[in-house]
Amino acid sequence: MRASGTHGGADVRAASGQAEVIENPSPAVVMAQPHRRYNALLDEWLLVSAERTSRPWLGRQETPPVVDLPTYDPSCYLCPGNVRANGKWNPKYESTFVFTNDFAALRPDAPDTAVEDGLLRAKSERGTCEVICFSPRHDLSLSRMSPAQARTVIDLWANETASLGQRYEWVQVFENRGSAMGASNPHPHGQIWAGDALPREAVKEDATQRRHFDETGRRLLIDYAEQEVGGPRDLGSDDDWLIVVPFWAAWPFETLIVPRRPVSRLPDLDDRARNSLTERLLGLLRGYDGVFEAPFPYSMGWHQAPFDGIERPYWQLHAHFYPPLLRATVRKFMVGYELLSEPQRDITAEDAAERLRSAINAASPRAAQPGI
């Protein structure tokens, strides 16, 4: 007989080739063995194989990131006053700097075309891609900024969102940090892509949030935040924000940032919420850098309500952080079973949260701010 998970309040386990039924198991019993967790935001499941990190590893090793970067690099196409690949010159900016990506994946002048041929369907997509330089300093990542400097970046995210939302339905703010996540330049920067259509992840999150609101009259992520506050996955909540390793995290040190009050988009955040976010965000990023005592690679991005004119009282602003590292030089690969079946993680979200909390608590805010 094969183990088939939890049914009717009983936990079915395979032991010595036989199935064992444990009536009304505690969460600790379930989570101490291979189990599946439900992602309420994406309506998906993932496999958790606790303690699998003890297996031997002879595969690819990640190269440690360069730590000692100069404050200015004359060869960097994002530093102030330097020439970019297309021959344009950057201004000698002193705070943040935004420009249209010289190699944009979306264009505002794309013609309106479509293909309909049986199962073969395609349509043009109109949009734009912006690059946002967080700082004129080549070496000053978000994690090492002062609160005032980080707040400037948050305000920039909000202002650009409001501007692009007047023209496009979906505005995706994101950052790829580190070469392990495909960043082509170490200069601290992020991007904003905006387009006419809702992408795949937005469609999923829209459906789950709408369904929960229709059933309960409450926002899914606010309910989730209230359930997580003060729990084993909470990385430091306050009255305004929750930062958590989500129960359903797929990446080893994945985190989710959620406002605890109803807010749909970045421009809707008031001054208090932005100041609180600055503090929480810096704590998380410094904690990330402390986990392996090196700049931590990640992809992060904000999901906010679409700008399509449809009322969405159920949509809650939130940010995802997807860091790839499982160990200091070993990354988590989403391959094989993960690509063909469902995501699988090697440590529990609770263990990851405990390590991250320790790193956050140990981080020194002043030491993270060079020359400020």
* Identity at 223, one-letter amino acid code: D
> How much is the pTM?
0.89
pLDDT at 65: 67
Give residues with Cβ within 8 angstroms of 69, minimum separation 6.
138, 139, 186
Residue 162 burial by Cβ neighbours in a 10 Å radius (0-12, 13-18, 19+): middle
* pLDDT tens per residue across span 146-158: 999 999 999 999 9
How far are the Cα atoms of 17, 157, 334 from residue 130, in angstroms, in the given order? 56, 11, 28
Three-state SS string across 11-37, please?
Answer: EEEEECCEEEEEECCCHHHHHCCCEEE
**Structure token pair of residue 102:** 């010289």
pLDDT at 7: 42
Q: What is the dihedral of CA 232, 242, 134, 67, to 10 degrees?
A: -10
Residue 245 burial by Cβ neighbours in a 10 Å radius (0-12, 13-18, 19+): buried
- Find tokens 């309910």 and name the residue: 223
Other CB atoms within a 10 A radius of the CB of residue 264 amount to 17
| Coil, strand or helix at 51 | coil
pLDDT at 182: 83
Question: Does residue 363 contact residue 290 with C-beta atoms inside 8 Å?
Answer: yes
What is d(CA 132, CA 173) in angstroms, rounded to the nearest whole number?
A: 10
How far are the Cα atoms of 141, 229, 254 from residue 193, in angstroms, in the given order? 21, 32, 22
Residue 141 burial by Cβ neighbours in a 10 Å radius (0-12, 13-18, 19+): buried
CATH of domain 67-109+123-362: 3.30.428.10
pLDDT at 369: 53
**Structure token pair of residue 134:** 């967080």
Q: What is the dihedral of CA 341, 346, 351, 355, to 10 degrees?
A: -120
- CA nearest to 236, candidates 284, 180, 273: 284
pLDDT at 6: 43
* Identity at 347, one-letter amino acid code: I
> In residues, how long is the chain?
372
Question: Does residue 113 contact residue 170 with C-beta atoms inside 8 Å?
Answer: no
- CA nearest to 268, candidates 222, 317, 340, 224: 317
pLDDT 10s per residue in the chain (372 long)?
A: 333 444 444 444 444 556 566 676 667 667 778 999 999 999 999 999 876 655 544 455 566 666 789 999 999 999 999 999 899 999 999 999 999 999 999 999 999 999 999 999 999 999 999 999 999 999 999 999 999 999 999 999 999 999 999 999 999 999 999 888 888 899 999 999 999 999 999 999 999 999 999 999 999 999 999 999 999 999 999 999 999 999 999 999 999 999 999 999 999 999 999 999 999 999 999 999 999 999 999 999 999 999 999 999 999 999 999 999 998 888 888 999 999 999 999 899 999 999 999 999 998 665 455 544
pLDDT at 51: 66
Which are the catalytic amino acids? 189
What is d(CA 263, CA 362) in angstroms, rounded to the nearest whole number?
A: 31
